[in-house]
Structure 1
Amino acid sequence: MSGVDLLIVGTQGPGGIGQYITEQRRHLDGEIDFSIQQIGDFSTAGVLAFLRSVLLILGNALAFTRRSPPDVLHVHSSYRFSFYRAGFYVLFATHVWNRPVVLHIHGSSFDEFVRTAPLPVRWYQSIVFDAAAEILVLSAGWKDVVALRADREKITTLPNAVDADDYGSAFEGGVPHVAFVSTLSERKGVPELLAAAEELLDSGMEFRLSIAGKGTFSPRVEAFAAAHGDVEYLGFVSEAEKQELLGAASIFVLPSHAEGLPIALLEAMAAGNAVVSTTAGAIPEVVDEGGLLVAPGDATELAAALAELIDDPERAAAMGRHNRRLAGERYAWSTATAALLDTYEHHAERSRAIAH
């Protein structure tokens, strides 16, 4: 086991960062001594819930200042308010504790957050990035974005990861099964998905569509499923239920308008799904011959791409096999864990030098 004392800082629970930290903990267990510092998140479930969440966020920050400094911190951040909160931990650890911070950038709209930020926010972004010892981003494209505010030399690309052993393909042929697993929002392309599905169903094309997730479009998706016998709405699903759904599917669809590198995409690839998605974010860097990509927001293109794979199940199956191999080789958690351990050890040398 490594002798590094690591502190992981982030928001646990549902969402991309929470899911990443859960898997990070699982794969670092036994490899390094670590503890977790919860940041907390704002609640929008009424005024009292919001006030309680603010007090929790402040309480977490106060508790953080009173703990013993670790050797290295790994701070996870998304965009906007997530970044504003995470920035406090980066700045305190760097300037008060004099400890190295690895800042890990997530979030589907972080590129927009950087490019469209007003002057005060750009200033804050710059000082937080400057304070971090290293910045982890999900793709080469995002490295270019973050380099608008940070020294490119300390930006490292580390893709999201998946444990392919957690997924298996149970689809045995027959009627093609299309699955969507994500937040039910406009940003995830739900309006285009429903429009494309309706076009294909009206044309008499035979396939099943399973939609899992919750969000602002939940009522509309539920009504759509009630009106179409070949469509099922599953609502929020657990990790086990998600694994079962993706294993039973043959095609994964994610028509996002904005993305980083979606973990759900890697999970679908690990389950042996062909992919129909968009050119948003890092998706084109991941999906090569394992799927079809369309322009974000184009329901007609989306319908055509889905029809192409529904009509050719052998091609979809070949794409799925390719994706499963790729997920197990290029995006394995074992690879990510090794890279993270090397990163922590590298920065821990600074802490040891300071201590002596």
Structure 2
Amino acid sequence: MNKEKVSLMLGTDSTSRGGIASVVTLLEEEGFLEQQNVRYITSHTEGSLFKKLTTGLFATLQVFWYCSFAKPAVVYVHSASGISFIRKSIFLAIARVFRCKTVFHLHGATFHHFAETESGPLLRWWIRRTLERSSTVIALSESWATFLSTYAPAATIQVIPNSVRFGMQSPEREEAGRILFLGHVGKRKGIFELLKALSLLKDSLPDIRLVICGDGELDLARKTADELGIGSNVEFLGWIDADQRAEELARASIFTLPSHDEGLPMAMLEAMAAGKAIIITPVGGIPEVIKDRENGLLVPPGDAHALAQALREILEDSSLRKILAENALRTVETRFSAPAMMEQLSLVYERLREGTNGKSGF
């Protein structure tokens, strides 16, 4: 295999927020980009509209230049839904014109809504064509692979779940009754059901504390907490960096993410690797990882009463909490180690480098 030929990888700024940035950071820190001779191009960043537009334009020019003159071995994009998909599909189209191998790595938790109900006929055609003309499409879970293979039957799909680092366990630092939420603060992540669930517990468990980490609808969430009479039980930290995230994971006794839609959330894997008891909803790829009452508790999305019941059970039963946490840690150690992900991705690169020409044309 010739690794002397450069490959391109495109995605959000690795210092940004969200799952894609976490995955890219892991690839950088594990040395994968260097090992595979990958040049990472930032195609999106946070900040002003001007900054976002110039970043996207510069990324497009770089892709065109590399494909024209350097003929990269692989052009690999990390994509979510909506505008993220539109940007990445343009990069892949440029690469196909120059007969480069392409990889589309899907991270978007709401991609099915985007592809089926939020897009008109022309955009649905473009989505399907982008998937089917990619050399490889990477899905985070079997459930997402099933959806993609139904939506784009000619697509070549491979399942590679996210991975996570270990060694974050510090049970001696856990604070009783401290519940952690990591994610975008909004309806899709179930934050309002979580606040309602907390209000159902405050009288019998007055020392309960919910720590909410993430940006989004913070003002509405604060207002909701105050209206429910739990303002003093809830702490809003906003977006936090990796060091702060590790600190909050160490202090929490429970992690919860009652989402309505998900891919395979990095926050869940990080909480499992930190040895936390998990309460989560069976959406996206989550049921392929969390088995109810084995390594976590599953509650229906949108059901505040079921969520409150699960929180009460796990808060009051320390033996159950310990068993779930230990089994969650064992699950990620077995199935979601960084070396396992690096090996799977390396095989993708090796196969594409040694295979036939990539699919060409728009």
Change (3 A) 1:174 1:105: closer
The CA deviation at 1:285 is: 1.1
**Which of the residues 270, 279, 288 maps onto 2:273?**
270
Q: 1:252-305 CA distances to partner (integer Å, 9 max, x unpaired)?
A: 010111111100000000001111111221111111111111111111111111
Native 8 Å contact 2:99 2:358 kept in 1: no
Match of 2:125 in 1: 123
Paired with 1:140 and 1:340, the residues of 2 have a C-alpha distance of 17
Counterpart Cα distance in 1 of 2:78 and 2:155: 20
Cα distance in 2, alignment partners of residues 218 and 258 from structure 1: 22
Query: Given that residues 129 and 149 in structure 1 are in contact (C-alpha distance below 8 angstroms), is that contact kept between their aligned partners in structure 2?
Result: no
After TM superposition, the structure 1 stretch with the greater mean CA deviation from structure 2, 31-40 or 332-341, is 31-40
**Alpha-carbon distance change, 71 to 40 in structure 1, aligned in 2, over 3 angstroms:** same
Cα deviation code 1:162-214 (max 9, x no counterpart) = 0113x223346662321111111111111111110111112335433222112
Superposed, 1:230-241 pairs within 5 Å as: 230-241=233-244
Contact 2:173 2:250 in 1 (8 A): no
**Cα distance in 1 between the residues matched to 2:281 and 2:224:** 25
One-letter code aligned to 1:3 = K
1:160-199 alignment runs, 5 A limit: 160-165=162-167, 167-171=168-172, 175-199=176-200
Residues of 2 paired with 1:181 and 1:72: CA distance?
33
Q: Cα offset for 1:70? A: 1.3
Q: Equivalents in 1 of 2:207, 2:319: separation in Å?
A: 16
In 1, the alpha carbon distance for the partners of 2:46 and 2:358 equals 38
Q: Take 2:172 and 2:209, find their aligned partners in 1: how far apart are those partners?
A: 12
> Equivalent residue of 1:202, what SS?
coil
Q: Which residue of 2 aligns with 1:321?
A: 326
Number of the residue aligned with 1:78: 80
From 37, 42, 47, the equivalent of 1:38 is 42
1:59-208 alignment, distance < 5 Å:
59-67=58-66, 68-95=70-97, 97-116=98-117, 117-151=119-153, 154-165=156-167, 167-171=168-172, 175-204=176-205, 206-208=207-209
Identify the range of structure 1 (182-191 vs 201-210) with the bigger mean alpha-carbon deviation: 201-210
Unpaired segments ≥5 residues, structure 2:
none
Q: What TM-score do you get using the length of structure 2 for normalisation?
A: 0.89
Identity %: 31
SS at match of 2:187: coil
2:283 to 272, 275, 280: 280
**Cα shift at 1:232:** 2.4
The CA deviation at 1:218 is: 4.3
**Residue 202 of structure 2: SS of its match in structure 1?**
helix
SS state at 1:148 partner: helix
Question: TM-score, normalization: structure 1?
Answer: 0.90
| Equivalent residues of 2:100, 2:357 under 8 A apart | no
1:152 to partner: Cα distance: 5.9
Residue 236 of structure 1: how far off its partner (Å): 1.8
SS of aligned partner of 2:10: strand
Contact preservation (8 Å) 2:255, 2:276:
yes
Q: In the aligned structure 2, how far is the partner of 1:353 from the partner of 1:174?
A: 53
Cα distance change on mapping 1:277 and 1:100 into 2, 3 Å: same
1:74-102 Cα deviation digits (max 9, x unpaired): 2111111111110011111122x211111
3-state secondary structure, aligned to 1:259: coil
Deviation per residue, 1:130-163 (Å, 9 max, x gap): 2210100011110111113324661011111101
Aligned residues: 347
Would the aligned equivalents of 1:171 and 1:249 in 2 still touch at CA under 8 Å? no
TM-aligned CA deviation for residue 55 of structure 1 = 3.6
Separation in 1 of the partners of 2:89 and 2:355? 21
Verify: 1:296 aligned to 2:296, yes or no: no
CA distance in 1, matches of 2:21, 2:2: 24
| Counterparts of 1:54 and 1:195, CA distance in 2 | 39
For the 8 Å contact 2:261–2:283, the answer to whether it is kept is yes
Deviation of 1:219 (Å): 5.2
Match of 1:216 in 2: 217
- Partner Cα separation in structure 2 for residue 204 and residue 243 of structure 1: 26
Contact 1:196-1:303 at 8 Å conserved across structures: yes
**Residue type of the partner of 2:198?**
A
Is the 2:182–2:214 Cα contact (8 Å) retained in structure 1?
yes
